[in-house]
């Protein structure tokens, strides 16, 4: 077996443990492509829960990645932010750089319709953000901001920061990114967005996007939103119990909490947009070089376990998208 017949894939094998496995690479069937990875991104929020075995059995089927191998909790090959070059397949794709929702692997075979060609002006390394930005596009469709709105995003992680980066393109009166880590102020400034810690944040928001992953953030969102305002909940808590303060003035202020999740197109666009359309919107948005600010580290594929262990630790701070480089 030679290098052309094999691929290396990262597998999670137990609590906070993983390894690279060399495996046979299937020959592509008609309508399939072989992709040689250039970069992949570690999605801290979801991959942390998967790595630590916190995917609830009730949603295990929903949380499967498109080309996931194995089942939760372990062993499992998981991930969904891969960019590579098509080295075999239909002529119109040969040699093109593409995005694919694929686990961390140096080569893989997928249906041709599972890859999306990168638009001109989107560097391959930046393009690993496309999957997370697609989640943010869906959130903006759910939120449907209006001219002159006052909006806050709580949680400056990958998802929250992506939503904030898109919302800064809207003609809102005030946009604020809120995070408990004051060190995120420099990141917000690079995006041109106002920053505040939770106790400094402005109230009277027409709507708030909550993406901190902590119940305290949701409680603070309910305090900061204006009467009859809405909190769009994007945090996924895994198996955790989440107390929500629905007493006090929640009812008298007629507040709303609504979920947003990328698995389905927002109802506001479901009849007119496909998943491919939504991903195309995300990739076009990535022409903006401000998204390079989201890449907080790069590690060679050979050392992916070192990166996983550091980036996905519960107490890791300052991380947004950590990129795995397959050429180093």
Domain borders along the chain are: 3-132+273-325, 145-259
Q: Determine if the peptide bond prior to 316 is cis (ω within 30°).
A: no
Beta bridge partners of 152: 176, 208
In angstroms, rounded to a whole number, what is the distance separating the alpha carbons of residues 202 and 98? 41
- Residue 34 CA from chain centroid, whole number: 24
Residue 224 near residue 200, CB atoms below 8 Å: no
Q: What is the DSSP letter of 307?
A: H
What pLDDT sits at residue 4? 66
Q: Is 300 helix (H, G, I), strand (E, B) or coil?
A: strand
Beta bridge partners of 34: 88, 109
For 23, 161, 243, the CA distances from 219, given in Å and listed in that order, are 47, 19, 9
What would the mean pLDDT of 34-40 be, rounded to a whole number?
Answer: 98
Q: What is the 3-state secondary structure (H, E, C) of 41-93?
A: EEEHHHHHHHHCCCCCHHHCCCCCCCCCEECCCCCEECCCCEEEEEEECCCCC
Q: Is the model's pTM score more than 0.85? A: yes
In angstroms, rounded to a whole number, what is the distance separating the alpha carbons of residues 245 and 248? 8
What pLDDT sits at residue 58? 87
What pLDDT sits at residue 3? 53
pLDDT value at 153 more than 60: yes
pLDDT digits (tens, 9 = 90+) for 79-99: 999 999 999 999 999 999 999
What pLDDT sits at residue 316? 81
What would the mean pLDDT of 249-263 be, rounded to a whole number?
Answer: 95
For 113, 219, 221, 246, 259, the CA distances from 256, given in Å and listed in that order, are 38, 12, 11, 10, 10
Residue 137 near residue 281, CB atoms below 8 Å: yes
Fold (topology level) of 3-132+273-325: Quinone Oxidoreductase; Chain A, domain 1 (3.90.180)
- Residue 109 CA from chain centroid, whole number: 23
In angstroms, rounded to a whole number, what is the distance separating the alpha carbons of residues 153 and 231? 10
Indicate the pLDDT class of residue 1, thresholds 50, 70 and 90: very low
Helix H or strand E segment including 233: strand 225-233
Give every strand in the sheet of 76-77, ordered side by side. 17-24, 6-14, 76-77, 69-70
Return the CATH number of the domain spanning residue range 145-259. 3.40.50.720
Only one residue has tokens 């929903």, namely: 62
Indicate the pLDDT class of residue 43, thresholds 50, 70 and 90: confident
- With b for 16 or more beta-carbon neighbours within 10 A and e for fewer, the 199-230 pattern comes to eebeeebbbbbbbbbbbebbebbbebbeeebb
Per-chain mean pLDDT for the chain: 95
């Amino acid at each position: 077996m030679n290098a052309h017949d094999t691929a290396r894939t990262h597998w999670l094998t137990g609590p906070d443990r993983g390894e690279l496995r060399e495996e046979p690479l299937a020959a592509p069937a008609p309508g399939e492509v072989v992709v040689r990875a250039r970069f992949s991104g570690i999605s801290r929020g979801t991959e942390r829960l998967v790595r630590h075995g916190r995917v609830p059995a009730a949603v295990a089927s929903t949380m499967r990645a498109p080309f996931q191998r194995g089942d939760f909790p372990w062993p499992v090959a998981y991930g969904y932010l891969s960019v590579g070059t098509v080295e075999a397949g239909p002529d119109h794709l040969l040699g093109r750089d593409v995005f694919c929702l694929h686990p961390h692997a140096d080569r893989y075979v997928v249906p041709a319709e599972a890859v999306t060609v990168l638009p001109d002006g989107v560097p391959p390394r930046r393009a690993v953000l496309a999957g997370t930005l697609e989640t943010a596009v869906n959130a903006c469709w759910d939120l449907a901001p209006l001219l002159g709105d006052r909006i806050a995003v709580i949680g400056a992680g990958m998802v929250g920061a992506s939503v904030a980066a898109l919302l800064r393109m809207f003609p809102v009166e005030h946009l604020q990114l809120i995070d408990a880590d004051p060190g995120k102020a420099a990141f917000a400034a690079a995006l041109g967005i106002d920053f505040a810690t939770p106790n400094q944040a402005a109230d009277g928001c027409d709507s708030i996007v909550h993406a901190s992953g902590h119940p305290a953030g949701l409680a603070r969102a309910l305090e900061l939103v204006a009467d009859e305002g809405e909190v769009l909940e994007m945090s996924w808590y895994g198996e955790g119990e989440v107390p929500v303060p629905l007493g006090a003035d929640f009812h008298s202020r007629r507040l709303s909490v609504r979920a947003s999740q990328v698995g389905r197109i927002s109802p506001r666009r479901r009849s007119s947009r496909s998943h491919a359309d939504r991903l195309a919107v995300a990739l076009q948005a990535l022409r903006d070089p401000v998204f390079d600010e989201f890449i907080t580290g790069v590690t060679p594929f050979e050392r992916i376990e070192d990166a996983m262990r550091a980036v996905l630790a519960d107490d890791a701070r300052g991380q947004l998208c950590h990129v795995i480089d397959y050429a180093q």
